Amino acid sequence: MKNISFETTKTLFEIGAINFNLAKPYKLASGILSPVYIDCRKIISFPSSRKKIIDFFQQILMAKFKREEFHNIAGGETAGIPYATLLAERLKLPLCYIRKKPKGYGINAQIEGEIKKNQNVLLVEDLATDGGSKLNFVNAIRASGAKCNNIFVIFYYDIFDEAEKLFNKNDLNLYHLATWKDILGYARSEKILDKNTLKNIENFLDNPSVWSTNRNGI
């Protein structure tokens, strides 16, 4: 896992997926302001990088799930869909994607594609912050009569205490390739960021709510 985390972090830096801006913080999906933003969507534009990510997902599957069989790969709207597609193709498994909410017309579907009752479904997403959107997708899968207890993401913020509580409470296992700890470690070793930027990022990661509130965020 250490090698996977290092190579994932290196890849994110190389393709410009890691963004820093102290003057104009980014707003996360939760509404919290952040001096950093990870854009995992950029990976799809780099063939060697996206292959590497799917290779890593497959390695984790082989290492962690020797006794568990998956019947379907689900991608979360929208950023998770490309990675779910690539992984499903690699594993020769059925694919579907989950909308954030029913589309509101036609058959009003929230799940596109087919999930059968009692199937074991793996949810694939680009990243996880506080876990809220992941639970929304999982609940839609479970409502169909299928099982979903495992989530794969490329990047996990790993700074929100409520995320771990949410995953545990809902019997969810989150597997990730890299976290902010990996990003900061790499940035220090490669001397990518100046001391002031590093300090501000560390302050944010230590207490994101306070950092955000002090800058008129939530």
Q: What is the pLDDT of residues 46-91, one digit of tens each?
A: 999 999 999 999 999 999 998 889 999 999 999 999 999 999 999 9
Checking if the pLDDT of 188 tops 70, the result is yes
CATH numeric code, 2-213: 3.40.50.2020
Round to whole Å and give the CA distance between 184 and 145: 41
pTM, rounded to two decimals: 0.93
Q: Identify the helix (H) or strand (E) that includes residue 175.
A: strand 173-179
Q: How are the residues of the chain apportioned to helix, strand and coil, as percentages rounded to the nearest 5?
A: 45, 20, 35
Higher pLDDT, 157 or 217: 157
183-198: average pLDDT: 90
The reported pLDDT for the residue numbered 163 is 93
Side chain identity at residue 187, one-letter code: A
Least confident of 7-11, 106-110, 116-120, 202-206: 106-110
Q: Is 57 left (phi over 0), alpha (psi -120 to 50) or beta?
A: alpha
Round to whole Å and give the CA distance between 59 and 73: 16
List CB contacts of 156: < 8 A, sequence separation 6 or more.
127, 128, 174, 176, 178, 179
